[in-house]
Amino acid sequence: MGRGPSGRQLVRERRHAWTVPLAPGSVRAARERTERSLVLFGVGGASSLGGAVLLVVSELVANAARHATASPEAEITLTMTDHLLVVAVGDLDPRPVTLADRSAGQGLCTVADLARAHGGDVGVEPSPDGRGKTVLVRFILPSGTP
């Protein structure tokens, strides 16, 4: 990690983004692509963190396929910095979702539990244009993660 012109430390960021159609097979496709991204990030799918990220992506894409009927696809973004891994899954359904929303089932509770187990949290942000939302799941990276 270097320093920028202002003398501030630069944070290294790696990002992979893609879309999956919200159709049969979308969860499997999202999980496989996530696993490839994690390998490129240096996080193995067999690690505790890797397993948690794979389950989170699976749950969020399954929720989007089940509940975001106005959205033809989901956008998935994995962003990794020196200390943080963020999973973002967005759809075009404008209906908000909260962790207390029982209609979302136990999937979001599982997602929140996994994030907390890795020092992270979950948030939901509406799209700037009001046409959808993005669920953000933050994981604190263990020391020694590349």
Cβ atoms within 10 Å, residue 49:
21
Alpha helices (H) along 44-142: 48-67, 107-117
For 28-47, what is each residue's pLDDT tens digit?
Answer: 999 999 999 999 999 987 89
Cα 30 from chain centre? 11
Span 8-24, average pLDDT: 86
Question: Which of 3.40.50.10860, 3.30.470.20, 2.40.50.140, 3.30.565.10 is the CATH number of 14-140?
Answer: 3.30.565.10
Task: Record the pTM.
Answer: 0.87
Percent of the chain residues past pLDDT 90, beyond the cut: 68
Domain coordinates in residue numbering, the chain: 14-140
pLDDT at 11: 62
Q: How far apart are CA 28 and CA 33, in angstroms?
A: 9
For 62-77, what is each residue's pLDDT tens digit?
Answer: 999 998 988 999 999 9
Span 11-34, average pLDDT: 94
Structure tokens at 90: 């967005």
In the chain, helix, strand, coil percent, each to 5? 35, 25, 40
Q: Is 120 exposed, middle or buried (0-12, 13-18, 19+ CB in 10 A)?
A: buried
pLDDT band at residue 56, thresholds of 50, 70 and 90? very high
pLDDT band at residue 106, thresholds of 50, 70 and 90? confident
SS3 92: coil
Q: How far apart are CA 145 and CA 43, in angstroms?
A: 7
